Amino acid sequence: MLKMTGIRKSFFLGGEEQMVLNQINLSVNEGDFVAILGPSGSGKSTLMNMIGCLDTPTGGEYSLSQQNVQELSEKELAAIRNKEIGFVFQQFHLLPRLSARLNVELPLVYAGLPAKERERRATDMLARVGLEERMEHLPSQLSGGQQQRVAIARAMVTEPTILLADEPTGALDQKTGKQIMSLFHQLNQEGKSIIMITHDPEIAKNAGRVFHILDGHLREEEAGC
């Protein structure tokens, strides 16, 4: 479903090449729950941008749903981000003047769906994450955990191939973070593929496969470690 082979990413600073990602190999299959674990400056944010088609590599090959990402135009990359990848961020990124339902509808607006279909799908998805009674609330009227559930519903409403979560519990207390991880487990058990970026080893333990990234190098943790 997702395959990276020999992915490299470098920048030039002061005339010198700085390697951020070095020969990254990563395969994610349908139904996988993958955590990419690393400290600040390890390259994990750059790798997330590559996976999410927000940036392009300096070298190597990346295929997503049998499409060679490097061969896609900017318009095609935008389409693949909307269709194939659902993004969940640490800071939620909800629009403050829109209700929970309207926030969830936004990706469907960009996809060109009619209003009634957008409302139906957003309502169904919010019910799925346990917010059926909070659909018309503004983000300011929701707790942090509820806002993250809205963000997850928004990420899922287009039925993406992959849910890509960047530090999804970073802005939450421990109890609420556990609730979000429980929701991720539920979604994964229903067949959704999840890639989670985190600096927290305890959060990473929720995944079925854990990769460590350090100084731009990626390795998979062996089972039982």
In a domain, 156, yes or no: yes
b vs e for 10-47, b when ≥16 Cβ sit within 10 Å of the residue's Cβ?
Answer: beeeeeeeeebbeebebebeeebbbbbbbeeebbbbbb
Domain of residue 216 covers 31-54+73-220
Tell me what pLDDT residue 221 has: 87
In a domain, 25, yes or no: no
Tell me what pLDDT residue 224 has: 55
Cα separation, 74 vs 72, in Å, equals 7
Tell me what pLDDT residue 56 has: 87
Which CATH number covers residue 90?
Answer: 3.40.50.300
Tell me what pLDDT residue 223 has: 61
In a domain, 182, yes or no: yes
The owner of tokens 């169904």 is: 124
Cα separation, 42 vs 63, in Å, equals 23
In a domain, 26, yes or no: no
Which residue, among 142, 3, 8, has the nearest Cα to 66 in the 3D structure?
Answer: 3
In a domain, 172, yes or no: yes
In a domain, 204, yes or no: yes
Structure tokens, 147: 């806002």
Tell me what pLDDT residue 15 has: 82
Rounded (10°) angle between helices 100-110 and 115-128:
130
Tally of domains in the chain: 1
Rounded (10°) angle between helices 174-189 and 144-156:
20
pTM equals 0.91
In a domain, 67, yes or no: no
In a domain, 64, yes or no: no
- Per-residue pLDDT in tens (0 to 9) along the chain, 225 residues: 899 999 999 988 888 888 999 999 999 999 999 999 999 889 999 999 999 999 889 999 999 988 898 888 888 888 888 888 999 988 889 999 999 999 999 999 988 899 999 999 999 999 989 999 999 999 999 999 999 999 999 999 998 989 999 999 988 888 999 999 999 999 999 899 999 999 999 999 999 999 999 999 999 987 655
